[in-house]
């Protein structure tokens, strides 16, 4: 008799526990520093003005991320907890959704949990979950969209409502920050290409074939094309009440003309500016904070985990080489996601760019590393796979003081972590 196929166990419970542990750890001393730091000085005034139906400020970005910051202030007060609490929850959601996306994409328990550990100890998610910026909301909604789209493909019986959730999350991601737009069009293109490959005679109306049997291309266009735009547009409704905005008098299109003009304006050079080769090689970090505050010298450094950021690059190459050959869609997906999210910055007409623009690509980079470690695990090299995960956690523990704004010994403490000139 032939042996029954292996049935991997869904790591849902462990994924929830990991997201909870991350929330608790990132939530420690969330209110430190007790004053706005780095780009909070731009987004907090904008959120306060929303609550007061005041002036329209921070005009270069869409509204949803600032609306969520404003919601935190409305619930918890105009204080550090109110500023950052929803960033913390968004970071936990991004972590959990990423693990679920990996599970549905790979059906590998080890890859899913390894991905969670790599993200949690990869520095960037931790730092962005503790500051009132827009990037964490954009990333969280994109992670949810990826999770639901992968789930729709893996479980077609739930495909329709998962595609609806995908579309809503894509709209929310774009409404948080425009950096999400290139990735937001990927699910629709993927559905179209998959249905074309299925060779259906009634391309628009047939409900048969991959990627989601039971859903026609015409219906998928509604959920993955029209719905995201509707959700995106709905987030601008509060702009009717702003002063000094073209929205109420000239409409949404004019509102966007102004946003685009501000996004593409030529800015003065910045000491922390960098570009995509610096990001990929982890050469240029950003000190979000480094000063005496709340009774001690404190710092917050945005940099990638030096081990996993470097290992992720050959892992991406391996995924690219083996994914198509072995028809491993999870590997193809992380390569495509990395290429699209990073490719934006090869052509974006934004004169000054920063390392936090690598935030989205880093999810796919660490996803590729998780899949590579899973291949080692399945191939019997389990100690090596576990060694990489353990080393990532050790480095996270070492850098923790300048990821969490902990009290440092003195003004020169930054030298303990400034391993290269680009990290100073």
Mean pLDDT, range 210-234, rounded to an integer? 95
Whether 4 is covered by a domain: the verdict is no
Residue 5: band (very low, low, confident or very high) from pLDDT cuts 50, 70, 90: low
Query: Structural domain tally of the chain?
Result: 1
* pLDDT band (50, 70, 90) for residue 213: very high
pLDDT at residue 54, rounded to an integer: 75
Question: pLDDT tens digit string along 355-382?
Answer: 999 999 999 999 999 999 999 999 999 9
3-state secondary structure of 300: strand
Q: What is the mean pLDDT of residues 40-69?
A: 90
Q: What is the pLDDT of residues 267-276, one digit of tens each?
A: 777 778 889 9
Q: What is the mean pLDDT of the chain?
A: 92
Contacts of 303 (CB under 8 A, 6+ apart): 123, 282, 285, 286, 355, 399, 423
Backbone phi, psi, residue 212, to 5°: -130, 90
Distance CA 242, CA 54 (A): 6
**Predicted confidence (pLDDT) at residue 200 exceeds the cutoff of 70:** no
The pLDDT assigned to 238 comes to 84
Residue 273 placed within a domain: yes
In this predicted structure, which of 215-229, 325-339, 396-410 has the lowest mean pLDDT? Answer: 325-339
Q: Taking the C-alpha atoms of 122, 124, 127 and 131 in order, what is their torsion angle to the nearest 10 degrees?
A: -150
pLDDT at residue 94 in the model: 98
Structure tokens at 270: 């910045």
Structure confidence at residue 316 (pLDDT): 97
- Residue percentage of the chain with pLDDT more than 70: 97
Lowest mean pLDDT among 153-162, 247-256, 336-345: 247-256
Task: Flag whether 251 is in a domain.
Answer: yes
- Tens of pLDDT, residue by residue over 29-38, are 999 999 999 9
- Residue 133 inside a domain? The answer is yes
Query: Residue 2's pLDDT is what?
Result: 59
Q: How much is the pLDDT for 302?
A: 97
pLDDT digit string (tens) for 95-135?
999 999 999 999 999 999 999 999 999 999 999 999 999 99
* Residue-level pLDDT at 83: 97
Q: Which helix (H) or strand (E) holds 299?
A: strand 296-302
Q: Is the pLDDT of residue 241 over 80?
A: no
Q: What's the pTM value of the predicted model, to 2 decimals?
A: 0.95
- Is 108 within a domain? yes
Is 7 part of a structural domain of the chain?
A: no
pLDDT value at residue 6: 63
Assigned domain for 6 exists: no
Looking at residue 3, its pLDDT comes to 58
Q: Indicate if the pLDDT at residue 392 is higher than 80.
A: yes
Task: Compute CA distances 396 → 26, 257, 415, 417, whole Å.
Answer: 12, 42, 17, 12
pLDDT at 375: 97
CA atoms within 13 A on the CB side of 189: 10
400 in a structural domain? yes
pLDDT at residue 4 is higher than 60:
no
pLDDT at 399: 98
**Structural domain span for residue 137:** 12-423
- Residues 250 and 377: their CA atoms lie apart, in Å, by 58
Alpha-carbon distance of 371 to 178, in angstroms, equals 29
Q: Which of 359, 379, 419, 295 is nearest to 110 (CA)?
A: 379
Q: For residues 221-231, give the mean pLDDT.
A: 97
């Amino acid at each position: 008799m032939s042996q029954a196929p292996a049935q991997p166990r869904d790591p849902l419970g462990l994924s929830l526990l990991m997201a909870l542990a991350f929330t608790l750890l990132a939530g420690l001393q969330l209110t430190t520093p007790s004053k706005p730091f780095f780009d909070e000085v731009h987004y907090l005034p904008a959120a306060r003005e929303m609550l007061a139906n005041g002036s329209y400020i921070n005009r270069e970005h869409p509204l949803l991320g600032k609306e969520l910051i404003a919601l935190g202030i409305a619930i918890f007060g105009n204080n550090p907890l109110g500023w950052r609490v929803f960033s913390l929850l968004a970071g936990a959601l991004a972590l959990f959704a990423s693990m679920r996306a990996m599970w549905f994409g790979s059906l590998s328990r080890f890859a899913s949990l390894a991905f969670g550990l790599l993200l949690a100890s990869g520095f960037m998610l931790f730092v962005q979950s503790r500051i009132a910026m827009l990037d964490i909301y954009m990333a969280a909604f994109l992670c949810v969209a990826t999770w639901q789209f992968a789930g729709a493909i893996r479980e077609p019986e739930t495909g329709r409502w998962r595609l609806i959730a995908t579309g809503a999350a894509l709209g929310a991601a774009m409404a948080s920050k425009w950096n999400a737009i290139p990735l937001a069009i990927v699910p629709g293109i993927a559905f179209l290409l998959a249905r074309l490959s299925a060779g259906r005679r009634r391309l628009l109306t047939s409900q048969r074939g991959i990627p989601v049997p039971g859903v026609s291309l015409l219906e998928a266009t509604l959920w993955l094309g029209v719905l995201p735009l509707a959700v995106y547009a709905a987030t601008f409704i509060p702009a009717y009440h702003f002063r000094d905005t073209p929205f109420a008098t000239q409409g949404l299109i004019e509102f966007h003309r102004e946003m685009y003009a501000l996004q593409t304006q030529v800015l003065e050079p910045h000491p922390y500016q960098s570009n995509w080769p610096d990001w990929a090689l982890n050469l240029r970090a950003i000190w979000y904070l480094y000063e005496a505050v709340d009774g001690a010298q404190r710092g917050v450094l945005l940099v990638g985990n030096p081990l996993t950021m470097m290992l992720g690059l050959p892992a991406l190459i391996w995924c690219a080489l083996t994914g198509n050959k072995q028809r491993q869609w999870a590997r193809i997906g992380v390569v495509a996601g990395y290429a699209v999210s990073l490719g934006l910055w090869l052509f974006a007409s934004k004169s000054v760019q920063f390392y936090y623009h690598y935030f989205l690509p880093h999810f796919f980079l660490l996803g590729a590393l998780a899949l590579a470690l899973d291949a080692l695990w399945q191939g019997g090299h389990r100690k090596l796979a576990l060694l990489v995960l353990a080393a990532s956690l050790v480095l996270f523990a070492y850098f923790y003081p300048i990821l969490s704004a902990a009290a440092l010994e003195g003004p020169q403490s930054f030298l303990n972590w400034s391993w290269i000139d680009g990290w100073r």
